Amino acid sequence: MNFKKTTLKEFRNLKGLLIDLRSPDEYYKGHMPNSINIPLFNNDERAFIGKKYKNAGREKAVFEGLKIVEKKFDQLIGDIVSENKKYINKTKSPQISSQLKFYCARGGMRSISISWLLEKIGYKSFKLEGGYKSYRNWVLNSFQDDRNITLIGGKTGTGKTKILKNLMSHNYQVIDLEYLANHRGSSFGGLGMTCQPSNEQFENLLAEKLLRFSKSKTIYIEAESANIGSCRIPNELFKQMKNAKRIEIIQSKKNRISELISTYSVFPDNELKNSVKKISKRLGPQRTKRAIEAIESKNWEDVCNAVLDYYDKCYDYELANNLNVNIIDIQDKKEKEIIELITKEEN
């Protein structure tokens, strides 16, 4: 059979279209970034084969699986050829047009089936040894590594995300957790965002990002709570973040409000109201009423003041427990000055 089992390290270094053979449900839960899903079995077929394996044994399950795949040969070939053409056009790499990388759950029946099919149509294929399970083991183990982390903290509206982007544009190592989680972290964090990745996929994206970085150099990360919307920072990494050096960004309340207005006033009133209602128990009835009435009258400064009363008190309490803090006042400072102040120890 014209395929080769490869370790994860070898697999990463190979060129070619990356195909996930698992069912759509498996793929949605978590997959290798940059892979595409060409499932051998749909969700119902996978459930049927799994039940057959449990009740009748492996041999019968394999037989039923092959019968399903046999009916799909034309569709599978068409999908593979079509997606490979897109990949070649996108990467401008015609020299690897007949080379494919693929994986299933554990490198078993689905990988063997597709390898046979690819051989018949002239493709050279590489299979990930141990499948997606081996990849997930690597992801989870990667968070155990010690890293040189510096947190960028600051109250709501201090422009921490802009600072991270500026650091990134100057080639510093930056993890933008909110970008990876597709959420800004607060009750307003989902506004204007598409769906968040699954927690498993968030971990995969985070591990891939960390893989690119030198462990000896500083990694700048925004100070976050453990949960960013529905995504949770892996425990081992979060422990390191809690013990990391922290740079606290100070900005005037006037500038913070201006920043918040420019970010959030563009969203529909009903979405803003729903975000306020999510924290109504913590805001209390008076501040909740004040914020909702201000949204209706488009008095954005009053909205910000009502909500910041709550968020600032929470933040002050959190910061009081952190002793390793370097405070930087960025009011009236230019981008270059801010970067120099943040990175002076690294430089």
Strands 149-154 and 124-128: unpaired
pLDDT of residue 204: 98
Q: 229 with 329, same domain? A: yes
Q: How many residues does the chain have?
A: 347
Domain finish residue from 139, 172, 207: 139
Q: 119 with 147, same domain? A: no
Q: Are 45 and 68 in contact (CB under 8 A)?
A: yes
State the Cα–Cα distance between residues 73 and 75, nearest whole angstrom.
6
Domain with residue 17: its CATH number is: 3.40.250.10
pLDDT of residue 137: 97
Q: 173 with 276, same domain? A: yes
Q: 99 with 175, same domain? A: no
Domain finish residue from 75, 106, 139: 139
**Residues of the chain whose pLDDT is less than 50?**
1
pTM here?
0.89
Q: 79 with 224, same domain? A: no
- Count how many domains the chain has: 2
Q: 248 with 291, same domain? A: yes
Show the domain range for 197: 143-343
Domain finish residue from 86, 119, 139: 139
pLDDT tens, residue by residue, 94-119 = 766 678 898 999 877 787 778 777 77
Q: Are 249 and 330 in contact (CB under 8 A)?
A: yes
pLDDT of residue 183: 87
Q: 307 with 184, same domain? A: yes
Domain with residue 273: its CATH number is: 3.40.50
| Apex 190 CA angle, 278 and 306, nearest 5 | 45
> Closest by alpha carbon to 286, among 296, 300, 276?
276
Q: 26 with 118, same domain? A: yes
Helix (H) or strand (E) holding 329: strand 325-329
